[in-house]
Amino acid sequence: MAYLETIYVGAAAPTPLGPIWLALSPRGVVAVSLWDDAAAFQAQVAAMTGGEVIMDQGKVGDAAAQMLAFLNKERQSFDLPIDWSFMSASQAEILRRVQAIPYGQKCTYGDIAQDLGKPGAARAVGRANATNPMPIIIPCHRVLGSDGKLHGFSAPGGLETKAWLLRQEGSWLI
């Protein structure tokens, strides 16, 4: 369960996708936004966490550097702690599985449900991905529909951004 605390916000910029906003609690990454609206992101993070949100680029420096390196193909994974306390147990379980999808690989919502021992839960997997508070760090872009096609990505550019991330990783679409 989350408790009131200070949440620090800063940006990875410039990136090929524009500024990427990151929010960190003392326990780890809380949220990532690909939308170029710092005020809206701060408000979203405050509502999600109940904490005091402070702009502090220094506090998010390592996370921003890792995001830049990832998007510039200089790293394939993140070694940042994740603060799972702001998610439901079900969402955290699903997103931990999504986080484990290897760089350059893809799977389907159904594959994840099956891996979790819940073969009928593909829609729940889709909902957890749709509300993923940390896109890219938790790579929901690597999850495809049962038809092998791209479905749902709420970042700027939508499915084209999802496709770009997959191409960056060398994961060509069928």
As annotated, the active-site residues are 140
Residues 6 or more apart whose Cβ sits within 8 Å of residue 136: 20, 32, 34, 67, 70, 71, 165
Adjacent-strand bridge partners of 32: 22
Report the amino acid identity of residue 89: A
| 121 Rama class: left (phi>0) / alpha (psi -120 to 50) / beta | alpha
Query: Distance between CA 36 and CA 17 in Å, rounded?
Result: 10
